[in-house]
Amino acid sequence: MALPQLISTRKPSLNPNSTALSSLNTINLNSLSKSPSSLDSLLHSRRQKRRAASLKCSASSFSEKHHNTNHPKSDDVVELPLFPLPLVLFPGAILPLQIFEFRYRIMMHTLLHTDLRFGVIFSDSVSGTAEVGCVGEIVKHERLVDDRFFLICKGQERFRVTNVVRTKPYLVAEVTWLEDRPSGEEDVEALSTEVETYMKDVIRLSNRLNGKPEKEAQDLRRNMFPTPFSFFVGSTFEGAPREQQALLELEDTATRLKREKETLRNTLNYLSAASAVKDAFPSS
């Protein structure tokens, strides 16, 4: 699921060290950012196929089972192979990849004989490589005769890079694990309900503008706890990777939900205005 358009009132930030990279004022979520030429690997398919695969990243992927998974302790330091990509992976999300560049084929051969886990970290020509990423666990793979790999990965824990161990043949770094802090007296359940309501309204209006039936969106949350639900919402903001990165880096569920609520509210206002114009000028 990908929301049709993301409207944000925040000013863009070009500071690659910022812990909250902001989005542009208007971002089309229907197109992924293109990879910079320095990246040696591409996604398994173009945007259309990736979206179809990302539908697997439904609420069931962010279930209560995921919430109850035993995560590593935040003060643990481990070495993790890293895969820089022009996208953001969230815990619980599904990511299809094609691996064909030699150094990453080497990495895959190693991973398939160990724990099947590597770090996905956002990188582009403007912001550089982020310090916070998400572990991708290989849940399905296919090795082709030319030694390319097709992978299906699922997002697991978030991490922060603390030290680069080596850069060849592929990037390896020491990382520590990130966990959300308690939200104090914030009512995260109420915030989750508000965010879900905004998502449903955005989907409804988007369908209307695109000439699709205005069906009431089903239960988007599906018994998810607030934290995995906030990750699920962030994963739908396709085409706005810097905003997604900012959401991934936040260490407070309430703060993440509030930011998503603001973004969805801005998007809803935009769609409402567009809908009013369409009603006033049907021929246009």
Residue 11 has pLDDT above 50, yes or no: no
Averaged pLDDT for residues 61-89: 72
- The pLDDT value recorded for residue 284 is 58
Report which of residues 40 and 185 the model is more confident about.
185
- The pLDDT value recorded for residue 212 is 84
Q: What DSSP state is assigned to residue 197? A: H
- The pLDDT value recorded for residue 243 is 96
Beta bridge partners of residue 6, listed in sequence order: 27
3-state SS assignment for residue 111? helix
Q: Print the SS3 string covering 28-89.
A: ECCCCCCCCCCCCCCECCCHHHHHHHHCCCCHHHHCHHHHCCCCCCCCCEEEEEEEEECCCC
For residue 77, count CB atoms less than 10 angstroms from its CB and return exposed for 0-12, middle for 13-18, buried for 19 or more: exposed
For residue 227, count CB atoms less than 10 angstroms from its CB and return exposed for 0-12, middle for 13-18, buried for 19 or more: buried
Please count the other Cβ atoms lying within 10 Å of the Cβ belonging to residue 254: 23
Range with lowest mean pLDDT among 45-54, 124-133, 245-254: 45-54
**Could you read off the pLDDT of 82-127 as tens digits, one per residue?**
999 999 999 999 999 999 999 999 999 999 998 999 999 999 998 8
Beta-sheet pairing, 26-28 with 172-178 = unpaired
3-state SS assignment for residue 132? strand
Superfamily covering domain 78-177: LON domain-like (2.30.130.40)
Q: How confident is the model at residue 67 (pLDDT cuts 50, 70, 90)?
A: very low
Of 65, 91, 1, the C-alpha closest to 223 is 65
Range with lowest mean pLDDT among 50-64, 87-101, 199-213, 225-239: 50-64
- The pLDDT value recorded for residue 148 is 93
- The pLDDT value recorded for residue 183 is 83
Which residues, including other chains, have CB under 8 Å from residue 218's CB and lie 6 or more apart?
Answer: none
The CA distances from residue 269 to 74, 146, 217, 264, in Å, are: 39, 50, 18, 9
Report which of residues 256 and 20 the model is more confident about.
256
Residue 252 has pLDDT above 60, yes or no: yes
Please state the domain extents for the chain: 78-177, 188-280
As a whole-number percent, the residues of the chain with pLDDT over 70 amount to 73
Residue 52 has pLDDT above 50, yes or no: no
**Could you read off the pLDDT of 13-22 as tens digits, one per residue?**
323 233 332 3
Q: How confident is the model at residue 242 (pLDDT cuts 50, 70, 90)?
A: very high
Report which of residues 270 and 68 the model is more confident about.
270
d(CA 26, CA 5): 8
Dihedral of the alpha carbons of 178, 232, 92, 135, in degrees to the nearest 10: -40
Range with lowest mean pLDDT among 63-72, 141-150, 236-245: 63-72
**Could you read off the pLDDT of 169-217 as tens digits, one per residue?**
999 999 999 999 988 889 999 999 999 999 999 999 998 888 888 777 7
- The pLDDT value recorded for residue 63 is 43
Q: How confident is the model at residue 28 (pLDDT cuts 50, 70, 90)?
A: very low
Q: What DSSP state is assigned to residue 147? A: S
**Could you read off the pLDDT of 111-167 as tens digits, one per residue?**
999 899 999 999 999 889 999 999 999 999 999 989 999 999 999 999 999 999 999
d(CA 202, CA 157): 29
Question: How many CA within 13 A on the CB side of residue 86?
Answer: 18
* DSSP codes joined into one string, 243-283: HHHHHHH--BHHHHHHHHHHHHHHHHHHHHHHHHHHHH-TT
